[in-house]
Amino acid sequence: MKRVITYGTYDLLHYGHINLLKRAKALGDYLIVAISTDEFNWNSKQKKCYFSYEQRKALVEVSHRHLRDRR
């Protein structure tokens, strides 16, 4: 089994994010998506996210489920 990992903030999820997830999924059998925390974004980038970590996580989970179910 080939595992693929991708990482991002995924704030204001858009078509480019979806394409990134599709391309990453196509590279292997199992996709791991890491989402940066609000604290990391502020402390490392001085970036305040529009959506909270939990909201961004929910958006990515729905997108991931959609990609998985389209097989």
pLDDT 10s digits, 7-17 = 999 999 999 99
Instruction: Classify 28 in phi/psi space as left (phi over 0), alpha (psi -120 to 50) or beta.
Output: beta
- The SS3 assignment for 8 reads strand
Residues annotated as catalytic are: 45, 47
Please give the structure tokens belonging to residue 7. Answer: 């990482």
Is the separation of the CB atoms in 24 and 50 below 8 Å? no
Task: Name every residue whose Cβ is closer than 8 Å to that of residue 10 and which is 6 or more positions away in sequence.
Answer: 17, 35, 56, 59, 60
The pTM assigned to this predicted structure is: 0.81
Tell me the mean pLDDT in the region 20-31: 93
